[in-house]
């Protein structure tokens, strides 16, 4: 066990102990103002209020992120590239001890073997990955009529063991729509900016399948505006 992980575990244990002590004190002096606020802060600090990862098997693994759209099966595609980069940024930030295969190494492999080659385990072996995170995006749209930007897509996520080809995890995100209500008028931003915004939000939604996240993350989504 690494020293840094030991320290992290120790801090978490102390936070949990403090949380339990504070809960007992709050019960005993429940009339005291501010006690519930302190308890809430300790719960948040300990991570006890977070949604657990749907799959935590990317930790301590060398992972290739392969993103496909309906256009990228035949050539490089800007939406696939932006989405893949966003997912990789969140994984690098939030998943412990993950090693990500460089984007250009995967692109070079596909250049050599053909962009229509979508045997994920073979791609993984070709770039020396232990696991492949395959992201398949279908029905991607950025407009809702002529005057509104409103993104939607269906996404299938899978994690494949590069050596055996076994599917280790699978999840569908159906009809992911942003903004949830209304849309962004086309005279308020450009398609390029809205594409980055939408795929950035979708990228975080995909990546958080693999690490604990704040249950309040979704509440402020519609307050984000493309500029």
The answer to whether 102 touches 173, Cβ cutoff 8 Å, is no
pTM of the model: 0.78
Distance between start and end Cα atoms, the chain: 45
Whole-angstrom distance, CA of residue 184 vs CA of residue 212: 30
User: What's the whole-number mean pLDDT along residues 109-117?
Assistant: 80
Question: Mean pLDDT score of the chain, rounded to an integer?
Answer: 82
Instruction: Tell me the three-class secondary structure of the chain, residue by residue.
Output: CCHHHHHHHHHHHHHHHHHHHHHHHHHHCCCCCCHHHHHHHHHHHHCCCEECCCCCCCCCCEEEEEEECCCCCCCCCHHHHHHHHHHHHHHHHHCCCCEECCHHHHHHHHHHHCCCCCCHHHHHHHCCCCEEEEEEEEEEEEECCCCEEEEEEEEEEEEEECCCCCEEEEEEEEEEEECCCCCEECCCCCHHHHHHHHHHHHHHHHHHHHCCEECCHHHHHHHCCCC
Torsion angle defined by CA atoms of residues 73, 199, 150 and 145, in that order, rounded to the nearest 10 degrees: -30
The domain segmentation of the chain, as residue ranges, is 3-48, 62-223
pLDDT classification of 7: cutoffs 50, 70, 90: very low
Whole-angstrom distance, CA of residue 17 vs CA of residue 23: 10
Look at residue 11 in the predicted model and tell me its pLDDT: 39
- Choose between 122 and 224: higher pLDDT: 122
Structural fold of domain 62-223? Rossmann fold (3.40.50)
Look at residue 35 in the predicted model and tell me its pLDDT: 55
Look at residue 48 in the predicted model and tell me its pLDDT: 61
The answer to which of 10-14, 132-136, 141-145 has the lowest mean pLDDT is: 10-14
pLDDT over threshold 70, residue 18: no
Look at residue 221 in the predicted model and tell me its pLDDT: 55
Q: Please state, in angstroms and as integers, the Cα–Cα distance from residue 156 to each residue in 26, 82, 87, 135, 159, following that order.
A: 45, 17, 14, 6, 10
pLDDT classification of 9: cutoffs 50, 70, 90: very low
pLDDT classification of 217: cutoffs 50, 70, 90: confident
- Choose between 24 and 170: higher pLDDT: 170
Half-sphere exposure of 13 (CA within 13 A, CB side): 6
For 54-109, the pLDDT digits (tens) are 999 999 999 999 999 987 766 678 999 999 999 999 999 999 999 999 999 999 99
């Amino acid at each position: 066990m690494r020293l840094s992980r030991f320290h992290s575990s120790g801090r978490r244990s102390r936070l949990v102990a403090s949380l339990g002590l504070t809960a007992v004190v709050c019960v005993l002096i429940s009339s005291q103002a501010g006690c519930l606020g302190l308890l809430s802060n300790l719960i948040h600090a300990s991570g006890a209020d977070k949604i657990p990862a749907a799959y935590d098997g990317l930790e301590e693994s060398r992972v290739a992120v392969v993103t496909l759209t309906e256009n990228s099966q035949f050539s490089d595609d800007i939406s696939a590239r932006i989405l893949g980069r966003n997912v990789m940024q969140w994984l690098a930030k939030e998943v412990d001890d993950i090693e990500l295969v460089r984007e250009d190494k995967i692109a070079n492999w596909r250049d050599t073997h053909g962009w229509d080659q979508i045997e994920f385990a073979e791609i993984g072996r070709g770039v020396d990955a232990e696991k492949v995170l395959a992201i398949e995006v279908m029905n991607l749209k950025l407009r809702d009529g002529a005057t509104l930007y409103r993104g939607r897509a269906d996404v299938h996520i899978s994690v494949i063991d590069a050596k055996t080809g076994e599917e280790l995890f699978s999840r569908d995100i159906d009809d992911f729509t942003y903004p949830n209500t209304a849309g962004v008028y086309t005279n308020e931003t450009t398609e390029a900016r809205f594409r980055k915004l939408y795929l950035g939000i979708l990228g975080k939604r995909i990546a958080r399948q693999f690490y604990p996240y704040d249950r309040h993350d979704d509440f402020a989504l519609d307050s984000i505006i493309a500029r």
